[in-house]
Amino acid sequence: MQAYKGYYTNGYFVPLDIGDLPEGTQAIITLLEDPPKDISKRLKDFDEIVKAIREASEEEMPEIERVNLNRDSL
């Protein structure tokens, strides 16, 4: 059994965790708390996080100079 926290909007449950569920997976939804008053702010914030992750994964990592940190060389 796995648990995914998410929200319900426009007839759909949208998980906040990124996961790959097989098509047709059965689920039990447990209501944890009252719905937030302004879900649109949360959705916008989540979209910005996902966008930043995707953009960062496309950037090249800078080359970092190797340094020997052995105490013997001090």
**What are the DSSP calls for 6-55, one per residue?**
EEEETTEEEESS---PPTT--------SPPPS-HHHHHHHHHHHHHHHHH
Mean pLDDT in residue range 17-33: 77
Q: Which run of H or of E encompasses 62? A: none
pLDDT at position 74 over 60: no
Whether residue 9 is contained in a domain is answered as: no
Q: What percent of the chain has pLDDT over 70?
A: 86
Whether residue 44 is contained in a domain is answered as: yes
Whether residue 18 is contained in a domain is answered as: no
Q: pLDDT tier at 50 (50, 70, 90 boundaries)? A: confident
**Which of the pair, 12 or 19, is modelled with greater confidence?**
12
Which two three-digit tokens encode residue 54?
């995707």
pLDDT for residue 18: 64
Whether residue 63 is contained in a domain is answered as: no
Whether residue 12 is contained in a domain is answered as: no
Whether residue 67 is contained in a domain is answered as: no
Whether residue 73 is contained in a domain is answered as: no
pLDDT for residue 48: 87
Q: pLDDT tier at 35 (50, 70, 90 boundaries)? A: low
Whether residue 46 is contained in a domain is answered as: yes
Say which residues have a Cβ less than 8 Å from residue 35's Cβ, sequence separation at least 6.
Answer: 7, 8
Q: Provide the domain limits for residue 42.
A: 33-58
Count of domains observed in the chain:
1
